Structure 1
Amino acid sequence: MNPETFSPKHFLWSFQDGVARVALNRPERKNPLTFESYAELRDMFRELVYVKEVKVVVFGSEGGNFCSGGDVHDIIGPLTKKNMSGLLDFTRMTGDLVKAMRTCPQPIIAAVDGVSVGAGAIISMASDIRYAAPETKTAFLFNRVGLAGCDMGACAILPRIIGHGRASEVLFFGRSFSAQEGLDWGFFNAVMPAEELEAHAMKMAAKLAAGPTFANGITKNQLNMEWSMSIDMAIEAEAQAQAICMQTKDFLRAYDAFAAKEKPAFEGD
């Protein structure tokens, strides 16, 4: 995958100065997902493991909305006609998108405007950092369509972000929460005017891209791994991870810059 020439069929892509921006692009339907866009997003995030030129990903909104979840006509309707094997293929494929987002070493920033529901809320949840516009409405609405809240890792990831009690309420009732509630709960890192959202996300992405990107990848990996570790195991894993980072040229650059009273110029190696 060459980030300069990559041209996906089912979502927008742009790349500049180490920052890739992706966004769903069906604004007339509030950017729903289809079977094809699910699969292409999954494959793209998997490939990013090997694309070192991409240092940060911004998952943006388009036309005033983030994502309205699975398309009612293109996904929900066909699902009602599938057998168990076909349904399991689908639910595993959608879960693989979250796995790919969590596994890729690049930090993912979600810039969430307007509607962010169902699988759209999951994509926001699976990102590393989330910024929202004030009118954003987020809903894990699976319960409202007769499904369990345990979709694409929601029962594992959401309680770790907003707490077990809040996650239980959101998943059992399928109710939406506002941007302010999301900020108060820790789901969103910041809320800002819609006209400033994209610029802020790109500014923070540029800051990450200019940082020690190898070390950032290690941080993301440890955040993932340590969910299932004891404290003793986590401390040992972090000792090994930090020792690896201490062998990087970026660590030496930081020391030399500090000694010279200069700002380090990181290169990700």
Structure 2
Amino acid sequence: MTTHTSTVIDPALLAGNRKTLAGYQAQHFQWECRDGVATITLNRPERKNPLTFASYSELRDLFSQLRFAKDVHVVVLHGAGNNFCSGGDVHEIIGPLMQLAMPELLMFTRMTGDLVKTMRACPQPIIAAIDGICAGAGAIMAMASDLRMGTVRSKTAFLFNRVGLAGCDMGACAMLPRIIGQGRASDWLYSGRSIGGEEAERSGFLNRLVDPEKLLAEAQAWAHDLASGPTFANGITKTMLHQEWNMSIDQAMESEAQAQAICMMTEDFNRAYQAFVAKQKPVFQGN
């Protein structure tokens, strides 16, 4: 007699590995999520919000988890006080690195690069709200974001050259020229100089300039506007913007044809059509 054993399928697989992250409890920075907009606050204002080994790895792991979050649609990244991020903590990162051998140093540099990879791989648009100092790894996190809002008093510096390192840190030589052009990127990476808010906007690094006292509110308003849109389709847009860097025009056209066909199967596409017919504004739900 044959006995058939029923297969138990993980509910997470049935749901496409989707999970909730709005209630995430951060250990090394602040996290808040309302109405699909999450705000990450680097919260060491007395030191201009530097990163530590622990905050690096937690940010990397959080952005990796965001690939599966069904209740987070846009992320705002900013720093407490009047500064964004001063980079790696001199005492808690730079000092200890002096004691490491090459294999461990490579483990560290790969880990920092993984933060950028996970920021680019998560489907949520990331808005960096930049005030004051935005230097080193802080400038890299701003670069790795999808959109950047700053103030006239913001000071962005890819300062690796000034501490005896190459400008090719965490993807800077690949990504920065695509944002501001090869010539400007060469200037910024060779000199390590501080770029004021107005120059950063003229160069295309900052999308918008706002008053410092309105920065976070304006960034969150921008995020809520994006979160009210077709968030599944927005995730596809982010994916294609990233992947098409390495494609020919023909490859990009085919990839976009496939991506758009997928989006045409969504309920949001149908909602947009029905709203148009009814002469109403569509209410997107991200599916």
TM-score by length of 1: 0.99
CA distance in 2 between partners of 1:32 and 1:89 (Å): 20
Q: Aligned residue for 2:267?
A: 249
* RMSD between superposed Cα atoms in Å: 0.7
Q: Aligned residue for 2:201?
A: 183
Q: Aligned residue for 1:121?
A: 139
1:23 Cα deviation after fit:
1.4
**CA offsets 1:97-122 (integer angstroms, 9 cap, x no match):** 00000000000000001000000000
Counterparts of 1:21-36 in structure 2, within 5 Å, are 21-36=39-54
| Secondary structure, aligned partner of 1:60 | strand
Q: Aligned residue for 1:258?
A: 276
Counterparts of 1:38-53 in structure 2, within 5 Å, are 38-53=56-71
CA distance in 2 between partners of 1:26 and 1:103 (Å): 27
**1:123 aligned partner, one-letter code:** M
Moved runs in structure 1, 4+ residues, more than 3 A?
none
Q: Does 1:220 align with 2:254?
A: no
**CA offsets 1:42-90 (integer angstroms, 9 cap, x no match):** 0000000011100000001211110000000000001111000000000
Counterparts of 1:59-78 in structure 2, within 5 Å, are 59-78=77-96
Structure 1 runs not aligned, ≥5 long = none
CA distance in 2 between partners of 1:50 and 1:267 (Å): 16
CA distance in 2 between partners of 1:148 and 1:95 (Å): 14
**1:237 aligned partner, one-letter code:** S
CA distance in 2 between partners of 1:4 and 1:123 (Å): 21
**CA offsets 1:207-255 (integer angstroms, 9 cap, x no match):** 1111000000000000011001001111111011001000100000000
1:94 to 107, 112, 127: 112
The structure with more radius of gyration: 2
| Secondary structure, aligned partner of 2:127 | strand
**2:102 aligned partner, one-letter code:** M
Aligned length: 269
1:3 Cα deviation after fit:
2.8
Moved more, 191-200 or 28-37: 191-200
> How many percent identity over aligned positions?
63
CA contact (8 A) 2:48 2:133 kept: yes
| Secondary structure, aligned partner of 2:79 | coil
Q: Aligned residue for 2:32?
A: 14
Structure 2 runs not aligned, ≥5 long = 1-18
CA distance in 1 between partners of 2:157 and 2:22 (Å): 34
1:103 to 121, 126, 134: 121
Q: Aligned residue for 2:150?
A: 132
TM-score by length of 2: 0.93
**2:195 aligned partner, one-letter code:** F
